[in-house]
């Protein structure tokens, strides 16, 4: 039964109109080569795992630190900031949701690239924010000059993912700076979920730009998608706003295990460096193999590649791969419906992908 028709009279009117985000599938199939949701193929830092075990054995009967002080200090130390410039949440999705609520319910539309992380548009729907879609250029790059608006025209803010998703293409830092200068009265949110795989971070611009909010996640480069930790960095006045929203919603978004594991993961710089370099190296090898097979591969600075094949339909390739237990992501969306997004796995997962692709392309 369609739930919208089942019991709409119990619902707040806004609920029927929501268009919720649909996450990539998490199938419970043991031998699946899972390259569809951009997780890290390597386990988290052993130091994170032992911190989580220790936290599980002590104090779970007590609420966690509502302010995640130790974790915020560790993040601040890593990025050369003060802990008052760091906000943490239950995955960067929650951080983004609070940021949309805190900063973008303003007069005028929120400027968002037409092809980007599709959750942005879901938050706009949830909070009644009007968005104005700014098309990527013909090469699927963000052209920052198209975010300029005539003086006096209201804009609620700007959101970009850098590197962008699902294209994987990075935005050079000078262009991020240009965005900040184009809209000095509004928050420019830079979602750097994938930046550790080769992008340029805007963290170093925070002291100069009171309108910059940089959002990170521990789900990708720190291998902790299952723990749900994300954070935002910006000047203290932006972090204060996020805290006001968070403390009007949930005082304890990060449990004790998440705070302990995330802190240890942030502090284990050596493990982070080696896994992220391995993923980058594997990506470079996979790109060459895919190009050899006739794929066009967009230049990726992320832990995934976005590819298309002139001779084969993307949905058909995805279905053919799935039949061989390899899962990739296909978006049935305008402009990108002939592309596939493939997460970077271990070398042996990538080999399985390439072998399966050979079969699909030959059939
Ligand atoms: N931003 C982007 C661009 C993403 O692709 C994702 C992952 N789907 C997120 C944010 C959210 O990541 P998480 O909630 O796991 O921190």
What backbone phi and psi angles, to 5 degrees, belong to 268?
Answer: -90, 70
Task: Note whether 41 and 349 are within 8 A (CB).
Answer: yes
Residue 7 in this model has a pLDDT that exceeds 70: no
Going by CA atoms, what residue is nearest to atom 2 of ligand 1? 193
Q: Is the pLDDT of residue 291 over 60?
A: yes
CA of residue 93 to ligand 1 center, whole Å: 6
How far apart are alpha carbons 299 and 322 in whole angstroms? 25
Q: How far apart are CA 191 and CA 80, in angstroms?
A: 19
The residues near 8 (Cβ < 8 Å, ≥ 6 apart) are 16
Using a pLDDT cut of 70, give the percent of the chain over it.
98
Q: Minimal CA–CA distance to 128: which of 18, 241, 247?
A: 18
166 CA closest ligand 1 atom index: 5
Relative to the CA of 220, which ligand 1 atom is closest?
A: 15
Distance CA 148, CA 115 (A): 18
Comparing 10 with 2, the larger pLDDT belongs to 10
Q: How far apart are CA 66 and CA 257, in angstroms?
A: 13
Which of 36, 44, 92 to probe ligand 1 with, by most ligand atoms within 8 A of CB?
92
pLDDT at position 4 over 70: no
Helix (H) or strand (E) holding 87: strand 86-89
CA distance 129 to 295: 38
Q: Which residue out of 167, 193, 254 has the highest number of ligand 1 atoms within 8 Å of its CB and is therefore the one to mutate?
A: 193
| Whether pLDDT at 135 is above 70 | yes
CA dist list (Å): 248 to 131, 252, 309: 25, 11, 48
In tens, the pLDDT along 188-221 reads: 999 999 999 999 999 999 999 999 999 999 999 9
Mean pLDDT for 252-262 is 98
Distance 351 CA to ligand 1 centre (A): 26
Q: Report residue 43 CA to chain centroid gap.
A: 19
**Predicted confidence (pLDDT) at residue 299 exceeds the cutoff of 70:** yes
Mutate to test the pocket of ligand 1, among 20, 217, 253 (most ligand atoms within 8 A of CB): 217
Please report which helix (H) or strand (E) contains residue 331, including its range. Answer: none
Mean pLDDT of 311-329: 96
For residue 74, how far is its CA from the centre of ligand 1 (angstroms)? 21
Atom from ligand 1 closest to the CA of residue 219: 15
Whether the bond into 163 is cis, omega within 30 of 0: yes
Band of pLDDT at residue 23, cut at 50, 70 and 90: confident
| DSSP character at residue 345 | -
Any residues with Cβ below 6 Å from ligand 1, and which?
Answer: 91-93, 117, 161, 165, 191, 193, 217, 219, 225, 230
pLDDT greater than 70 at residue 287: yes
Distance in Å, CA 37 to ligand 1 centroid = 9
Q: How confident is the model at residue 28 (pLDDT cuts 50, 70, 90)?
A: confident
Q: Is the pLDDT of residue 1 over 50?
A: no
Tokens encoding 122: 């879901």
Distance CA 337, CA 332 (A): 5
Q: Across all residues in the chain, what is the average pLDDT?
A: 96
Angle at alpha carbon of residue 16, lines to 10 and 17, rounded to 5°: 150
Tell me: the pLDDT tens digits for 143-171?
Answer: 999 999 999 999 999 999 999 999 999 99
Ligand 1 centre from 88 Cα, in Å? 14
Quote the tokens at residue 100: 């949309």
Asked if 271 and 46 touch (Cβ cutoff 8 Å), the reply is yes
> In angstroms, what is the span from residue 220 Cα to ligand 1's centroid?
8
Task: Tell me, in angstroms, the distance from the centre of ligand 1 to residue 24's CA.
Answer: 11
Residue nearest to atom 7 of ligand 1 (CA): 193
- What's the pLDDT score for residue 202? 98
Averaged pLDDT for residues 86-109: 98
Q: Which of 82, 48, 97, 51 is nearest to 250 (CA)?
A: 97
Q: Could you give the percent of the chain with pLDDT greater than 90?
A: 94
Buried b (16+ CB within 10 A) or exposed e, 38-50: bbbbeebbebbee
With tokens 């319910």, the residue in question is 105
pTM: 0.97
């Amino acid at each position: 039964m369609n739930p919208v028709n089942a019991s709409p009279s119990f619902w707040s009117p806004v609920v029927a109109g929501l268009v919720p985000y649909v996450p990539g599938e998490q199938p419970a199939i043991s031998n699946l080569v899972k390259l569809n949701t951009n997780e890290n193929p390597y386990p988290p830092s052993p130091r994170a795992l032992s911190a989580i075990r220790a936290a599980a054995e002590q104090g779970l009967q007590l609420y966690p630190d509502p302010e995640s002080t130790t974790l915020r200090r560790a993040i601040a130390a890593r990025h050369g900031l003060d802990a008052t410039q760091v906000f943490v949440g239950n995955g960067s999705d929650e951080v983004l949701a609070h940021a949309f609520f805190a900063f973008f319910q303003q007069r005028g539309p929120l400027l968002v690239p037409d092809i980007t992380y599709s959750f942005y548009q879901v938050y706009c729907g949830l909070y009644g924010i009007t968005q104005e879609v700014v098309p990527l250029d013909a090469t699927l790059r963000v052209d920052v000059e198209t975010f300029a608006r005539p003086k006096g025209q209201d804009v609620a803010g700007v959101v970009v993912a850098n590197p962008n998703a699902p294209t994987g293409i990075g935005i050079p830092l000078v262009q991020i700076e240009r965005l900040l200068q184009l809209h000095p009265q509004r928050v420019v949110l830079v979602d750097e979920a994938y930046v550790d795989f080769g992008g340029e971070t805007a963290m170093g611009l925070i002291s100069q730009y009171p309108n910059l909010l940089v959002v990170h996640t521990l789900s990708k480069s720190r291998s902790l998608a299952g723990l749900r930790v994300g954070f935002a960095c910006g000047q203290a006045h932006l972090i204060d706003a996020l805290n006001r929203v968070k403390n009007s919603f949930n005082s304890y978004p990060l449990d004790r295990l998440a705070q302990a594991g995330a802190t240890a993961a942030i502090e284990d710089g050596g493990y982070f460096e080696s896994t992220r370099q391995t993923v980058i190296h594997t990506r470079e090898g996979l790109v060459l193999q895919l190009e050899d097979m006739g794929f066009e591969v967009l230049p990726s600075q992320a832990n995934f590649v976005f590819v298309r094949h002139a001779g084969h339909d993307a949905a058909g390739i995805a279905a053919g791969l799935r039949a061989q237990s390899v899962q990739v992501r296909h978006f049935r969306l305008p402009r990108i419906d002939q592309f596939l997004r493939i997460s970077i796995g271990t070398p042996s997962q990538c080999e399985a992908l390439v072998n399966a692709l050979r079969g699909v392309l030959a059939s």
